[in-house]
């Protein structure tokens, strides 16, 4: 899994699912909180390299959407998504 930078030489490898197989894998993003743009990908339960979220200038994608692609311009193999869950956790216990 890579983070696509504006300058191709700055692309960042965040982690890997290993060799290709037909098994299900998990991908989660853990946000640092406190309005931070830092995100840690969690691939099959293992923390990947944290990265900073950026805004894509591509107008072809609607706002507030998750866009999943492969790293090449051509199709490599399909990405099948079983489910997507969004969880918002608060550590604020003072109420």
* pLDDT tens column, 72-87: 666 666 777 788 777 7
Whether the Cβ atoms of residue 81 and residue 69 lie closer than 8 Å to each other:
no
* DSSP 8-state assignment for residue 35: T
Q: What is the mean pLDDT of the chain?
A: 76
The mean pLDDT of 36-44, rounded to a whole number, is: 88
Structure tokens at 18: 């290993």
Place of tokens 């990405």: 79
- Taking the C-alpha atoms of residue 89 and residue 92, their distance in angstroms, rounded to an integer, is 9
Q: Look at the chain and count its residues.
A: 95
- What is the pLDDT, as a whole number, of residue 51? 83
Q: How many CA atoms lie less than 13 Å away from 40 in the CB half-sphere?
A: 9
């Amino acid at each position: 899994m890579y983070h696509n930078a504006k300058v191709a030489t700055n692309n960042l490898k965040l982690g890997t699912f290993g060799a290709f197989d037909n098994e299900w894998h998990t991908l989660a993003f853990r946000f640092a909180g406190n309005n931070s743009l830092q995100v840690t990908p969690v691939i099959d339960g293992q923390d990947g390299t944290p990265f900073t979220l950026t805004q894509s200038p591509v107008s072809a994608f609607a706002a507030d959407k998750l866009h999943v692609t492969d790293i090449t311009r051509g199709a490599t193999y399909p990405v099948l998504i079983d489910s997507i869950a969004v969880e918002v956790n608060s550590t604020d216990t003072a109420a």
